[in-house]
Amino acid sequence: MNSDFLPVSKSDMDALGWDYYDFLFISGDAYVDHPSFGTALLSRLLEANGYRVCICAQPDRNKVSALTSYGVPRLGVLISGGVIDSMVNHYTASKKRRSSDVYSPGGKAGLRPDRCVIVYSNMARSAFGDIPIIIGGTEASLRRFAHYDYWQDKVRRSILVDSGADMLLFGMGERSLLSLAEALSDGIPINHITNLKGSCYISDKVPKNSVVLPSYEKVSTDKESYARSAAAQYYEQDSVRGKTLVQQHDDKYLVQLPQSPPLSQKEMDRVYSLNFMRAWHPSYDKDGGIPALEEVKFSITSSRGCFGSCSFCALTFHQGRVVQSRSHQSILAEAQKLIWDKDFKGYIHDVGGPTANFRAPSCKKQLKSGTCRDRQCLYPSVCPNAEVDHSDYVELLRKLRALPRVKKVFIRSGIRYDYLISDKDDTFFHELCEHHVSGHLKVAPEHISDNVLRYMGKPGVKQYEKFCRKFYEINKKLGKEQYLVPYLMSSHPGSTLRDAIDLAVYLKRNNIRPEQVQDFYPTPGTLSTAMFYTGLDPRTLKKVYVPKTPHEKALQRALLQSSRKENYKLVHEALVKANRTDLIGFGGDCLIKPERRINNGSTDIRRKGTLTKDKRGFKGQGNSVKGKRH
């Protein structure tokens, strides 16, 4: 074995001289010993605190021996579906099976089962009997309550109920997992551990001073009850002011204790200083390795959490709204490790987190009183109490640029542009353009319709336009030719056909031809998914228009790429349906040209010419390029 990696087999354990081990960690991802992968991060943390951990990555669901070969762990089995939900990993927004899996050897698909947390839990119970089974990670965290499942088009029970596990740890699990490990090591039965923040368990009774949600039976048959439940979950997602939530399933109660407190900077630094190999396990070399590592190998996580609170993003429900950051010293120490990697070419690919330009809580009140229950930090506008300050990030980036062998430090994480332009000091904006953009900067306006943006929790288009103007002004002063790549989303709840047409016209006027468009994907744990299922805004219980049929979604998606010949018929149909045939013709705003009859009676589509100049002063936004969505 390679003794620098955690053991992945009984023979590895024997080579280490282990006659017992504490936890078996089963993962839906391949084993990559890098802090961007939760299995490695938590396993290394347990190791650093004196626990012995074995990794069982992507076990064959048909072979229980894949688990029993390790022997019985002393304390329990930990199970994670991997970096992303297994159903999102396997299927596109149109429910088509994906042909690859970047978290598997050689990018091969099919090495983990659908709903792998449930499958692995059943395997563990079969293999080890009455042993503590603890589930966590993204898949478990976002499915901890009764939830709408897009792939089955129905409400499923809590994954804790369906998996038969003993406990669920949600969110970022370092603090809760160490506390649980200590309790189990002290001999406390897992069914007696009912005071652990960041955990869910099944109970026969309702705890005192808890908020009782509508039951699984109720939310699965009544959409208004589902919306009310989703709103309560959202409002109570806070480690300071959040209350215990309870949801009945049959004759039992799912109990969620409040969110675990965010890590301090000192704690964050310790986690990222652990003994990571920063590589995939050598057993994957023969397959060409794990493709997902390439995206993060020369990137640095500088922060966690996001107070952007976009309705379609699950970060609020998983990492939380309170931003936590690492110290400069910790980040520079990690950068030194990157610099001396044999494959380092001089480029740090990213320094950021969910939102790169968030380095601290939006205001100091959050640490003492928690996040505001009924107020978002950035929507509908930046909160007056928000402390908009990029000076710490600027200082950090300057230190990284000054390191020997570093040619360029890029920022590829999302930039929250409304927060950026609210900073009265333009230093970061100038240095972003001068030093940290590789020709194209990815930003996510998502839409331009105020109606749609309201449901998304995103700023109005005027904020985006203000940002665009400033971006190009700064680049002009710098003598640089750099462009914005706007990410756009079609078919989000609230988006009517007319909203999609308005966006299409906006793109035409501004000479933006997106190469990629993200169709709204209803994933568990978001407010937008609750809107998609119920047709109600959980925060107001008012009706929301939802484009649901595959054909209507195709119409809205086609409008965003109206210049493509293959989309002509869909765009034509959409314009006729919306009574916007004024956009079929030769005028400046027209999306398509009329069909022309030819001699044999068939039709010939007159293709659009290429718009060469931006009419609103945004010359140079240009065409989008292919790239990862942030």
CATH code, domain carrying 99:
3.40.50.280
Residue 36 covered by a domain: yes
For residue 381, count other CB atoms closer than 10 A to its CB.
Answer: 13
Above 80 in pLDDT, residue 596?
Answer: no
Above 90 in pLDDT, residue 601?
Answer: no
Residue 125 covered by a domain: yes
Q: Residue 367's pLDDT is what?
A: 86
Helices (H), 387-449: 391-401, 417-420, 427-435
Above 70 in pLDDT, residue 3?
Answer: no
Residue type, 25: F
| Rounded Cα gap, residues 550 and 115, in angstroms | 24
Residue 495 covered by a domain: yes
Residue among 378, 488, 482, 385 nearest 434 (CA): 482
Judge whether 225 and 214 are in contact, CB under 8 Å: yes
Q: Are strands 408-409 and 347-348 parallel, antiparallel or unpaired?
A: parallel
Tokens in use for 97? Answer: 């099976």
Q: Residue 316's pLDDT is what?
A: 85
The mean pLDDT value of the chain amounts to 93
User: Stretch 211-220: mean pLDDT, rounded?
Assistant: 98
Please identify, among 223, 256, 289, the residue that sits at the C-terminal boundary of a domain: 256
- The pLDDT tens digits of the residues spanning 538-559 come to 999 999 999 999 999 999 999 9
- The pLDDT tens digits of the residues spanning 147-192 come to 999 999 999 999 999 999 999 999 999 999 999 999 999 999 999 9
Question: How far is the CA of 282 from the CAs of 8, 109, 302, in angstroms?
Answer: 11, 20, 27
- Tracing tokens 């429910």 back to the chain, one arrives at 95
Residue among 544, 511, 589, 454 nearest 575 (CA): 589
> What residue numbers bound the domain in which 584 lies?
489-630
Above 50 in pLDDT, residue 610?
Answer: no
Residue among 397, 471, 407, 481 nearest 439 (CA): 481
Residue type, 394: V
| Rounded Cα gap, residues 244 and 88, in angstroms | 29
Residues whose CB is less than 8 angstroms from the CB of residue 416 and which lie 6 or more positions away in sequence, other chains included: 308, 355, 357, 358, 378
Judge whether 455 and 493 are in contact, CB under 8 Å: yes
Residue 350 covered by a domain: no
Residue type, 345: K
Above 70 in pLDDT, residue 592?
Answer: yes
User: Stretch 12-16: mean pLDDT, rounded?
Assistant: 96
Residue 497 covered by a domain: yes
Above 80 in pLDDT, residue 606?
Answer: no
User: Stretch 117-146: mean pLDDT, rounded?
Assistant: 97
Coil, strand, or helix at residue 162? helix
What is the band of 613 on the pLDDT scale with cuts at 50, 70, 90? very low
Above 90 in pLDDT, residue 620?
Answer: no
Judge whether 14 and 69 are in contact, CB under 8 Å: no
DSSP string, 7-19: P-SHHHHHHHT-S
Above 70 in pLDDT, residue 146?
Answer: yes
- Percent of the chain past pLDDT 70, that is, above it, reads 94
Please identify, among 192, 227, 256, the residue that sits at the C-terminal boundary of a domain: 256
What is the band of 603 on the pLDDT scale with cuts at 50, 70, 90? low
User: Stretch 585-602: mean pLDDT, rounded?
Assistant: 79
- The pLDDT tens digits of the residues spanning 241-296 come to 999 999 999 999 999 999 999 999 999 999 999 999 999 999 999 999 999 999 99
Above 80 in pLDDT, residue 346?
Answer: yes
Q: Residue 463's pLDDT is what?
A: 96
- The pLDDT tens digits of the residues spanning 74-102 come to 999 999 999 999 999 999 999 999 999 99
Q: Residue 602's pLDDT is what?
A: 54
Dihedral angle over CA of 416, 421, 423, 429, nearest 10? 80
Q: How many domains does one find in the chain?
A: 2
Q: Residue 516's pLDDT is what?
A: 80
- Tracing tokens 């650093």 back to the chain, one arrives at 48
Residue among 486, 477, 496, 500 nearest 571 (CA): 500
| Rounded Cα gap, residues 253 and 201, in angstroms | 8
Q: Residue 609's pLDDT is what?
A: 39
- The pLDDT tens digits of the residues spanning 516-532 come to 889 999 999 999 999 99
Residue 270 covered by a domain: no
Please identify, among 241, 256, 271, the residue that sits at the C-terminal boundary of a domain: 256
- The pLDDT tens digits of the residues spanning 359-400 come to 999 999 998 999 999 899 999 999 999 999 999 999 999 999
User: Stretch 551-573: mean pLDDT, rounded?
Assistant: 96
Q: Residue 561's pLDDT is what?
A: 96
DSSP string, 79-118: EE--SS-HHHHHB-TT-PBPSB-TTSGGGBS-SS-TTHHH
| Rounded Cα gap, residues 474 and 469, in angstroms | 9
Above 80 in pLDDT, residue 315?
Answer: yes
Residue 503 covered by a domain: yes
Residue 461 covered by a domain: no
Judge whether 567 and 517 are in contact, CB under 8 Å: no
